Structure 1
């Protein structure tokens, strides 16, 4: 380990050095620099080891970025250790390993693709050779001349083949017999059907004749019964008939039908019926009038409800319009107030002139780290009489 070299610092020089106030552009330019002075790296030519020295902070007049005495001493005594080179070397090594691994993977993929293409090419060559062989075999088989002999034999003792006319005659006789049998069969079936039809007609005729005879017999019997009944009535009419009516004789029929009591009762019933009919008619008229009145009342109620609904809808619509208008007015009022406040702030800003925050930093200088005044040399703001009460969160 080689100790770091630190330049000497004179406290009197730092205290005697009074910073003069800077203008706003100078303060802005100085604020862009680093807050803490960085050490300059030096390399020892003899042993090749880097030796870092801390530069003296020569300017403490930056507004809001000064360092007090204690913070300055800590910053000067601090020996920074940088791992930038090591990190770069490690990153380069990782990149090299990653590239090597990627190259190896690419080589494996290329080799695998080559092997696969070789296998496909060999398979295609085999298929082509097989197809070529099959095609040549088929072509040779088509073009080759057959050397086989016909497998036929000649019989010396074989009889002669009969003439075709004999076979034709047999075929003709067979077909003729088949046609004759078919025609005979069809004729027999037709005769059977005709016979069945005639038998059915005869049976129906007999049934109709039987029904006709039965109907005529029943009709004759009925006529005879009516005739005998009429003859009996004619014979018995003289015994039941009333004596002939004369001018002086009393009426035979209806003598006890209409008496004075019956006439009075009939008149009374007629009056009651008339009264009941009149009451019924009046009741019907009254019901019709009541129904008309009820219908008119319902229609009037419906019209009233429709009118009320229309008025309520109009009231709601008017209220909605009024509410929207009120909201718009409130928004406009708020916007106008915000605008006035903004204009007032702008006027105050314009009237402030040079009394801005950057200009006020000259009066109030504070340390950037501990936020104390720059003339602080180790004072504390904790009271000597302060003590902590255990179990509480208060410090007295």
Structure 2
């Protein structure tokens, strides 16, 4: 190879920024160029709309898969401001949809964040062949069109509006995504159900209009919070469970946040434990460790006190505690700390002790107050531990 062929200088470096960088490497910004990436584009828009509800500025979020391959996300909030960035009420519409500025830091306890790149609607706009924005604000309906991340029209007044809110619709650029990739109704349904269970009072709908003969729509609202989530995870087995879910919510200043926990044992094999931090699904972390420590401590103490374990018997291992267990632990923190590039492991040190103590206290109280059901549940756990 000649020296000329191998020479590499600054003139050959291609610097890409903003929209161009996103379109060059879409997988870096939404996770993949397949179904998962398409799903993440929906999440990037839903993130903003859900936070309008959690902030008390809206009451519901509606997501629609349209017959022409698009997705429409609507909220009934005050409507995105049409003014320049920095105006009261947040960034202006065009700034929201075009400026690639990641939100600083992790969202606090009053926000959900399941965006991948934290660039929000701007990254969706860049990866879409078309995006439309409709803002209903101050009695006026405004519309704007975008093509591949660039404004094709200015915000245009399009009549009167009876209410307020924002509707963002997008059509992915098929040149950037795998040909067979489609939005998965089931995957979106699962995530929205989680989100509604983790945030009491959040109302969402998901509607699929892609096939004329197979329209379907699901509504999500779970007043029981994570208690309802446990029932969802158990499915039909919930009807035959020997106990109702034990559920509680409390704030602990030591961890600068709140926790919501629900759990029960049923006759299903294995365990179903789900953990979340600021409504983000986690695969492990201090909150999940605290849940297991609290359950183990309460069960072992009860078993020893009632003679189900002798003084010489070893304690019950966490693996036996988990047999037949369904549990959800959700923490919402002012300053969440995550490990790993995927931010799927919660690392806040104080959270484990706080969750563990609260779980031990609440389960211990239930065991004392419901001796017959307690004997059934703990007896089965102890017998299983002895067999192993």
Shorter-normalised TM range = under 0.3
The answer to which structure has the higher strand fraction is: 2
The answer to which structure has the higher helix fraction is: 1
Q: How high is the TM-score relative to the length of structure 1? A: 0.15
- Ranked by relative contact order (alpha carbons within 8 Å, sequence separation 6 or more), the top structure is 1
The structure with more radius of gyration? 1
